[in-house]
Amino acid sequence: MTVGGPRFISFEGIDGSGKTTQVRALAARLRATGAEVVETREPGGAEGAEMIRRLLVEGDPSRWSPETEILLFTAARRDHLERTIAPALARGAVVLTDRFANSTRVYQGVGRADLRASVDALHSLAIGVEPDLTLVLDIDPRVGLARGLARGGTEDRFEQFGADFQIRLRAGFLALAREFPRRVRVVDASGEAETVAAAIAAEIGL
Ligand code: TYD
């Protein structure tokens, strides 16, 4: 990585956009340059935050209101920031996180309800930092939903909101990239994993 390159990078996108695979691929490339890399995820990424994760991603879609979700996601993020992200950045590591605050801006701020102002207010109160760079993995919602549901498991509470929800989310992520063109970049994630990985590496100058 070029000296002075981004050290705190979040991956964002709709469900099934391939973030997890791409975090792993970029981590491997960065490690090959000698960097210490911390791979992490939200909701979760620290012991307490992983406990909150289970409350959020499992169970009935109506389990929480969007307002309550904002509080829970932000609580989990605060724990993640304190215990994992901030210490890693302080010792000079590169942090790659599968989702961060832009997920709340989009899922709770525009996807589930029109609550962006509440998300931003709570973010500035409790979190106050943004990644140096956010990579939005952009994919057709039909493809993402099929991938997500094919994975099975019990963590499908958000997938159950359906196709229209995923369409609103995609539009929300693309709008964020237009709002913050310097720190939020869109990557076409419809191709093979290797093609997407190469596009991401180019984006950060590797
Ligand atoms: P994730 O584990 O990234 O799921 P996936 O691999 O399917 O993308 O995230 C779990 C779910 O939580 C996902 O559907 C998105 C949702 N989410 C929010 O609604 N708001 C948030 O702030 C975050 C971080 C995630």
Q: Which helix (H) or strand (E) holds 49?
A: helix 47-57
DSSP annotation of 153 reads: S
Q: What are phi and psi of 39, to 5 degrees?
A: -100, 130
What distance, in Å, lies between the first and last C-alpha atoms of the chain?
5
Quick: pLDDT tens for 168-182.
999 999 999 999 999
Range of the domain at 68: 8-203
Q: Is the pLDDT confidence value at 72 over 90? A: yes
Task: Return the number of other C-beta atoms located less than 10 Å from residue 162's C-beta.
Answer: 11
**pLDDT per residue over 122-149, tens digit each?**
999 999 999 999 999 999 998 888 887 7
In a domain, 119, yes or no: yes
- Copy the structure tokens of residue 85: 């992200």
In a domain, 196, yes or no: yes
> Average pLDDT for residues 2-23, to the nearest whole number?
90
Q: Which of 10, 42, 110, 112 to mutate to test the pocket of ligand 1 (most atoms within 8 A of CB)?
A: 42
Cα–Cα dist 148/144, whole Å: 6
pTM: 0.95
Q: Residue 28: which residues within 8 A CB-CB, separation 6 or more? A: none
Q: One-letter amino acid identity for 193?
A: A
Residue to mutate (ligand 1; options 71, 137, 158; most atoms within 8 A of CB): 158
Total structural domains within the chain? 1
CATH number at residue 95: 3.40.50.300
Domain-located, residue 191 = yes
Token reading at 63? 């389990």
Provide the β-strand partners of residue 94.
37
User: What is the four-CA torsion angle of 117, 188, 99, 181, rounded to 10 degrees?
Assistant: -40
**Quick check: is 2 in a domain?**
no
Q: Is any ligand 1 atom within 6 A of the Cβ of residue 99?
A: yes
